[in-house]
Copies of this chain bind each other. A is one copy, B any other.
Amino acid sequence: MHPLDKALELERSGDDRWCGRTIPEWANMVGPFGGITAAVMVRAVELHPQRHGQPIALTVNYVAPIADGAFDIVTRVVRTNRSNQHWIVELSQDGEVKTTATAVFGLRREGWSDTEITAPQAPAPEGIEPSAPPFGVAWFDNYDMRFVDGGMPDAGDEPTASPSSTTSLWVRNNPSRPMDFVALAAVSDIFYPRVFLRHGQFVPAGTVSITVYFHADDEQLAAQGDDYVLGTARAHKFSGGYFDQTAQLFGRTGTLLSTSHQFVYFKA
């Protein structure tokens, strides 16, 4: 089974309740990669028999580190409207809440469409060397990342500060896997903390809240298939021990698949 799908295996344990477990393949420095946790929250709603439509907007709050092992998820439908549906989702371990989320699911409708932004200039991914994980973080192996600019600082080098917080990269699941909403939720959190880039080194940092807007529909996800996405992320402001980072994920032909925003705690 693909490591993404393995991490998303949930078993129904009651009305509105699901059981899952962390797997070593997605381990981050503390707890699992935030993107896989976001994907798990989406999957729990997708599995719910009352689910109406597809992911539209998602906010995930990282409340406390998830320990290795089993977790419980409670999915509560707050309200189902004609075209959309609101959810509150909580992930806990031994009765302690570790992650909360709100999700809007819904039906997309035909109509006027336009994309105002364009993907960053980038050579094709096939011509870029895949990035070697900078140190032993397991989840990096689940993505083939090819940095266009703003690559991760090398832990062995003298710190080289960057005046810009922008990173652009091609990325796809490794092994490759067709794009769907859960995969899109996960990869929307692919961008390492922007403060690393600005400081040219690793400093303590952790996302407190991430929001993902799903712009793609089924047809656009099918067209994406298992190809690379081109992602770009930047920060606006660092202060008071927090910074924001905002990201966009495009398909190879320029389709904007998702935008995401996060607020990150840091110490520097």
Residues of A within 8 A of B (CB): 56-57, 59, 61, 63-64, 78-79, 81, 83-84, 86, 88, 90, 96-97, 100-102, 104, 106-117, 164-165, 198-199, 208-209, 211, 213, 215, 217, 234-242, 244, 246, 248, 256, 259, 261, 263, 265-268
Please indicate the chain B residues that have their CB under 8 angstroms from the CB of A115 in the complex: 236-239
Q: A116-B164, A215-B240 are in contact. Are A265 and B59 (CB under 8 A)?
A: no
Q: How far is the CA of A111 from the CA of B265 in the complex (A)?
A: 12
Please indicate the chain B residues that have their CB under 8 angstroms from the CB of A116 in the complex: 164-165, 234-237
Query: How many chain copies does the complex carry?
Result: 2
Enumerate 5 A-B pairs (CB-CB under 8 Å) in ascending A order.
A56-B242, A107-B241, A113-B238, A114-B239, A217-B239
Contact A78 B63 (CB under 8 A): yes
Contact A240 B267 (CB under 8 A): no
Contact A81 B64 (CB under 8 A): yes
For the complex with contacts A61-B86, A111-B266, A246-B259, 8 further pairs of A-B residues with Cβ separation under 8 Å are: A56-B242, A57-B209, A61-B104, A113-B238, A114-B239, A116-B234, A117-B237, A236-B259
Contact A265 B96 (CB under 8 A): no
